[in-house]
Amino acid sequence: MVKIVSSYDVVIVGAGPAGATAAKFLSEKGVKVLLLDKNRFPRDKPCGGVLSVKTLKRFSYISEELISSYSFGGRIYSSSQNHHIEVQLEKPIAAFVVRKDFDHGLVQLAVKSGTSFRDGVSATDIQILKEKAIVRLDNGDSVESELVIGADGVWSMIAKKSGLGQHYPYVGRCLYEEIPYAQNVLDEHFTKKRTFQMYLKFRGVYGFGWVAPKKDCVNVGIGEIQSTGSQRTKHSLQELYHEYLHFLKEHKLIPTIISPGKTQGGFLPLHPLDKTFADRILLCGDAAGQMNPLTGDGIHYAMSAGKFAADTCAMAIESSKTNASFLSKYQTLWKNDFGEEMKLCGRVLKMLLKGNRDEKYIRLLSRDQQIVDLLLTMATEGRIQEYQWKIIRRFVSLYVRDFFGL
């Protein structure tokens, strides 16, 4: 017999940016919310910790206390490191956060809004009934609700048990660490403008490495794209990461005196699920495959999807319509907002990483600051429809001129 210990309007599984954002907005609407996470908070999360300018604009409640530093520029290198594009501005192009602090801060905002939060508790199963949903916990308890939001990561239990997810032919796999430094050391090495670095196809690997300098640490990581059926071992990625770290130190791309941090790894979805809703269920964030495949930024999509999920759940509860047909509004909302951007970024990533094309494309882009500025504006402001054809036309013109030696 199922032991129901409590009842809520919405149970959210996963307290990352997607889950915490959904919880905050639902609680502000007077909805009774339980937010669950298997980890004890604060906790680390495999991520570069980059917030785009559009994220800061959309979620203006993100306070300075949650931001580690701002970046005013960056460099993207081709696989040979012979070519690169560079951006340096007088205003920030991104903010860097430490995920342990950032995610904890978002949860606290949800709690202040009225959310009930339980960490260190795993959801192990879900049962969808005609009149309610039941979420079973690893301590033997169960909770019931009108709706469930699955925000429990790329290998989401909610997605799997509901039959919605984990159909990923390819995933991103990464290793990273947050290397601590004194702030004055980073000010001297990266300046207060905290310029980030990205290295395409390091040592020929189908992916990229990054360096994200924060206030008093540097996030260094490398990721590769692989088939979910690949036999590539974790050990080989570990070796590649150490080779990458040696390369950065040897070329003085990071301060050479290092206090080792904790190397961590994780998986990232590279394509959204076909369906992110079912009877009484919504998926958002990594659980729905909502991540920018080009930049690896999942925070903006996760928080945006969390807001859309909250809006949809609130309407569903108010109208007493919790079936898949009504909840499909959620998928329409997020697809209209960032669906096309995800597709475009996926195509660009595939184009960059195929063969040796990155060498030519980075070389061409380095010769045309206007197209770089257009790409930056599109990336930071998210105005895909306005800029993509301008960029395509200019790039084709640049490609043709280069082909004929003009």
pLDDT for position 345: 83
> Of the residues 301, 323, 344, which one is the last residue of a structural domain?
344
Q: How far is CA 378 from CA 138, 155, 189, 323, 391, in A?
A: 44, 30, 29, 36, 9
Containing structural domain, residue 76 = 70-95+169-269
Residue 332 lies in a domain: yes
Tokens 């206007």 — which residue? 370
Which pair of structure tokens corresponds to residue 254? Answer: 């990071």
What Rg do the C-alpha atoms of the chain give, in angstroms?
22
Pair (301, 155) in one structural domain: yes
Q: Which residues pair with 51 in a beta bridge?
A: 95
Interatomic CA distance for residues 175 and 167, integer angstroms: 23
Are β-strands 196-200 and 73-77 bridged in parallel, bridged antiparallel, or unpaired?
Answer: parallel
Interval 129-137 mean pLDDT: 96
Has residue 57 been placed in a domain? no
Same domain, yes or no: 38 and 159:
yes
- Residue 79: band (very low, low, confident or very high) from pLDDT cuts 50, 70, 90: very high
Provide the CATH number for the domain around residue 139: 3.50.50.60
Co-location of 88 and 179 in the same domain: yes
Q: What is the pLDDT of residue 197?
A: 95
| pLDDT of 361 | 87
pLDDT band at 382 (very low <50, low <70, confident <90, very high): low
For the chain, the 3-state helix, strand and coil shares in percent, each to the nearest 5, are: 40, 25, 35
Mean pLDDT of 353-357: 84
Taking residues 224-231, what's their average pLDDT? Answer: 73
Q: Give the pLDDT confidence score for residue 132 in this predicted structure.
A: 96
My answer on whether 191 and 107 are in the same domain is no
Q: Which residue type is seen at 167?
A: H
Q: How confident is the model at residue 404 (pLDDT cuts 50, 70, 90)?
A: low
pLDDT beyond 70 at 384: no
- 3-class SS at 121? coil
Query: Is residue 131 assigned to a domain?
Result: yes
The residue ranking higher by pLDDT, 46 or 66, is: 66
pLDDT at 397: 79
C-beta atoms surrounding 73 within 10 Å: 18
**What would the pLDDT profile of 257-302 be if each residue is shown by its tens digit?**
777 667 889 888 888 999 999 999 999 999 999 998 888 889 999 9
Quick check: 232 pLDDT over 70? Answer: no
Q: Does residue 380 lie within any of the structural domains?
A: yes
pLDDT for res 167:
67
Average pLDDT over residues 208-230: 89
Taking Cα atoms as reference points, which of 184, 214, 210 lies closest to residue 101?
214
CA distance to 15, 71, 135, 176, 376, per residue, from 23 (Å): 9, 29, 17, 29, 32
Q: Tell me how far the alpha carbon of residue 39 is from its chain's centroid.
A: 19
With 90 as the cut, is the pLDDT of residue 394 above it?
A: no
Render pLDDT for 28-52 as a digit per residue (tens, 0 to 9). Answer: 999 999 999 999 999 988 888 999 9
Question: For 154-191, how does the pLDDT look when each residue is reduced to its tens digit (9 = 90+)?
Answer: 999 999 999 998 667 778 899 999 999 999 999 999 99
| CATH at residue 238 | 3.30.9.10
Q: Assess whether 333 and 202 both reside in one domain.
A: no
- Is the pLDDT assigned to residue 130 strictly greater than 60? yes
> Is residue 141 predicted with pLDDT exceeding 80?
yes
The domain boundary, picked from 269, 292, 326, lies at: 269
56 within some domain:
no
Claim to verify: residue 105 and residue 241 sit in the same structural domain:
no
Average pLDDT over residues 132-153: 96
Same domain, 358 and 335: no
* Helix (H), strand (E) at residue 179: strand 170-180
For the full predicted model, state whether its pTM sits above 0.85.
yes
Does residue 63 lie in a domain region?
A: no
Give the distance from CA 205 to its chain's centroid. 21
Same domain flag for 199 and 258: yes
Distance CA 226, CA 213 (A): 27
Decide which of 301, 320, 344 is a domain's last residue. Answer: 344
Residue 327: the pLDDT is: 98
Mean pLDDT over all residues of the chain?
Answer: 90
pLDDT attached to residue 11:
98
Are 214 and 194 in contact by the 8 Å Cβ rule? The answer is: yes
**Based on the domain organization, do 84 and 185 belong to the same domain?**
yes
Q: How many domains is the chain built from?
A: 3
Can you tell me the mean pLDDT for 91-115? 96
| Residue 307 and residue 184 share a domain | no
Note whether 78 and 358 are within 8 A (CB): yes
- Tell me phi and psi for residue 82, to 5 degrees: -80, -20
260 in the same domain as 193: yes
Q: How far apart are CA 382 and CA 134, in angstroms?
A: 38
Please give the DSSP secondary-structure letter assigned to residue 336: I
User: Average pLDDT for residues 369-385, to the nearest whole number?
Assistant: 72
Report how far residue 48's alpha carbon sits from residue 40's, in angstroms, rounded to the nearest whole number.
21
Is position 91 within any domain? yes
Beta-carbon count within 10 A of 132 CB? 15
How many Å separate Cα 362 from the centre of its chain?
24
In a domain, 199, yes or no: yes
* Bridge partners for 149 per DSSP: 12, 282
- Residue 308 and residue 393 in one domain: no
Distance CA 193, CA 195 (A): 6
For the cut 90, the answer to whether the pLDDT of residue 320 exceeds it is yes
- Whether residue 1 has pLDDT greater than 60: no
Report the percent of the chain where pLDDT is more than 70: 92
Arithmetic mean of pLDDT, 214-237: 79
Q: Can you give the pLDDT at residue 2?
A: 60
